[in-house]
Structure 1
Amino acid sequence: MSTPATSPRPTQLPPPRQDHFAGLTGANAMATRGMAETEARILKAIKHNAMVCIHGHVGLGKTFAVHTILRRRAPETTVRLRYNIGANMNEIRTHLWSRLGLPGEPPQAAGPCDQQIRDALEAEPRILLIDEAQGLGTKPLDYFRTLWGDDARRAAIVLVGSGNTRQKILNNPALHSRILDWYQFSPLTPAEVQATIPAYQKIWATAPPELILYADDIVGHGSFRNWARITLHLHDALEENPKLTLDKDLVRWVLSRIDPTTRHTPQRN
């Protein structure tokens, strides 16, 4: 008698279309250096049931890269956690309880609640993805360190954050000493922009390299979020008025929409 196959657990990761800023239509996931480095850290976390941290300024593609890699490598075992700034311990435990799929309401007493959470993490492999880690206080960060344990190493943990994420972890020596690997995102270099943006969205496929560098200099600044904003504005403008030409003047118009302190006077032929 064969054993019925168990249904795969529904993924907690959002659909890929939600990763692009404002749902940018036609945007492609690019094989950047940041994507490759992120994958290396996540694979190490999975292999060693370890803690790793992915950090850097906002808008550089950290969360996008992490979601893309985890969809590929661990879609069913990823427990995605994201908390409001300053979340208290009751909120931390309640959300984790729910995300782990534990039955009923969590015990009000911290001890029994934490024991059941630890048991669940020890029962099967999990990856705790903690996004926006910069918003967590000292107690929540230390809580995840204790859940991970030492000898137990109950779950791989991927911390993702911007701003002062690294400094917060440095200020917590017990947590910092247990982070196995780090990766800091940085803006795309001009060479990376030229290699990446033409394939990012069809608007840029035939754009001259000098126009792409110009757009990066005045608006993009090597940030995928900035490039998504540029592309959204250009897409709408060209859709509404097909007679427009993708040129420096139109890019400067986009800058005037993103930065209202920028004056834009259309060039006259």
Structure 2
Amino acid sequence: MLVARLLELEAAGALTTAHVRAGAQVGGVNVRTVWRWLDAARSEGRVERRPRARLELSDQAWEVLAQAGGNVAALHRHLKAAGGDVPSLASLHRAVRRDLEADLALAGPSEGGAAKVAALRLPPSEPGAVAGSSAGESGAVAGVALPAGARLVRTSSVRAVGEAVGQAMATQGAVCLFGNPGRGKTAAVRMALSEVPPGWKVTWVPVPVRPSVAGMRRAVFDALALAGRFPHTSALADAAVVGALGEVRVLVVDEAQRLPVPCLEYLQSLWDHPDTRITLVLCGAGSERALARLPQLASRIGAWQEVPRLAGAEVATVVSGFHPLWRTVPAQDLTWIDRSCAHGTFRTWAALTAHLQNALLTIADASIDRPLLRRLFQRVAPPL
């Protein structure tokens, strides 16, 4: 814009050195730079920056990078061994970071940043990969945030949750999913409900902070996306909610441990209503203790399904399927990581994966070794 305006002044015969000095101040550059821009505009007929040659990595280079667990230094050594013009290590780092950031910006939340991350373009049929969700080859499921390149893994706990939810749907019953925080309860439910039978709908009801019956009624109304404004009386709101729940539907209440007895009674009234056809899924760390405060509802729970920590025997297989970075780490080291830091908690493994990715992309010649991992442990574990 600056160069175009100066050219307009020059065409009108009004351009002076004062204009150029003012333009240099506005652009934050030297006066000679502005004169250079003007000379380029006159000789080349352009007012924008000269396009620079951009370093583009080939698909083969991305595959090498993926096989090296995202280690840019390893890719640089591979390119040097192959011969030809090889960019500097710093240039390679910038190119990888640029393309990763661009792909993550384009990836929608339902993709979890996994489906389009170029640095981990692995073929879907890669040997050793653990099957992810049926929602797609990337293993991404809507509502589940994953580190770039990660995919959900169907562990034994995930399969057990799927069976419990499926049985509850068959009888339009209720199921309680519980377990310590970070073990993957919500992800397991979303995987189980990623494909439901035709005619079924799935509605996730967020539990308000310090919920009241009025707040819970509003949360259910909003989650059902009912048309019109929220009714001004509870009777009208309940009538609208019951009408929508007349269709077969799974009603998932996450963070159910927050619910006081009156809110649980409200959910029970919706489930018991003769005009509703819902399967009730109550999920949360401590949800089983919350339900114990209302024996009438607890006695109606058809399945109590705990999501335990990841078993030590399946750590290596599951974590290697979760993210390609871990496929380059020996099984005994994965067991050491789990004992030292993750303790079978998927949320900790996900956080550690994200920190490891960042370290490999930003630290020259970084490699996955125990000193680096010990430093990352301090980032994912709170101080004692």
**Contact persistence 1:214–1:248 (CA under 8 A):** no
Q: Distance in 1 between matches of 2:217 and 2:378?
A: 45
* Structure of larger gyration radius: 2
1:83 and 2:207 are equivalent in the alignment: yes
Q: Distance in 2 between matches of 1:192 and 1:69?
A: 20
Name segments (4+ residues, structure 1) moved above 6 Å.
none
Match of 2:355 in 1: 233
Q: CA deviation at 1:94?
A: 1.7
Task: Show structure 1 runs of 5+ residues with no match.
Answer: 1-13, 263-269
Q: Distance in 2 between matches of 1:116 and 1:108?
A: 12
Match of 1:116 in 2: 240
Q: CA deviation at 1:15?
A: 2.0
1:31 and 2:174 are equivalent in the alignment: no
* CA deviation map 1:154-199 (0-9, x unaligned): 311111111x211110120111011111110111111111221111
SS at structure 1 position matched to 2:245 = helix
Q: CA deviation at 1:91?
A: 1.8
**Contact persistence 2:256–2:290 (CA under 8 A):** no
**Deviates most, 56-65 or 148-157:** 148-157
* CA deviation map 1:197-234 (0-9, x unaligned): 11111110121111101111111100110001111111
Q: Distance in 2 between matches of 1:175 and 1:115?
A: 22
Q: Distance in 1 between matches of 2:143 and 2:150?
A: 10
Which one of the candidate residues 159, 173, 180 is aligned to 1:50? 173
Q: How does 1:50-199 map to 2 (within 5 A)?
A: 50-73=173-196, 77-122=201-246, 124-149=247-272, 154-162=277-285, 164-199=286-321
Task: Show structure 2 runs of 5+ residues with no match.
Answer: 1-108, 113-141
SS at structure 1 position matched to 2:328 = coil
1:203 and 2:325 are equivalent in the alignment: yes
Match of 1:15 in 2: 110
Which one of the candidate residues 250, 254, 257 is aligned to 2:372? 250
Match of 1:8 in 2: none
Letter matched to residue 222 of structure 2: S
SS at structure 2 position matched to 1:205 = helix
Match of 2:343 in 1: 221
Q: CA deviation at 1:26?
A: 0.8
* TM-score, normalised relative to structure 1: 0.85
Q: Distance in 2 between matches of 1:260 and 1:134?
A: 23
Q: For CA contacts below 8 A with separation 6 or more, give which structure has more relative contact order.
A: 1
* CA deviation map 1:69-118 (0-9, x unaligned): 21122696111101222222222112212222322223222223212321
- Aligned residues: CA RMSD: 2.0
Q: Distance in 2 between matches of 1:152 and 1:38?
A: 27
Q: Distance in 2 between matches of 1:52 and 1:152?
A: 20
**Contact persistence 1:20–1:27 (CA under 8 A):** no
User: How has the CA–CA distance of structure 1 residues 20 and 127 changed in structure 2, closer, same or farther, with 3 Å as cutoff?
Assistant: closer
* CA deviation map 1:27-61 (0-9, x unaligned): 11111011101110111121111111111111000
Letter matched to residue 233 of structure 1: H
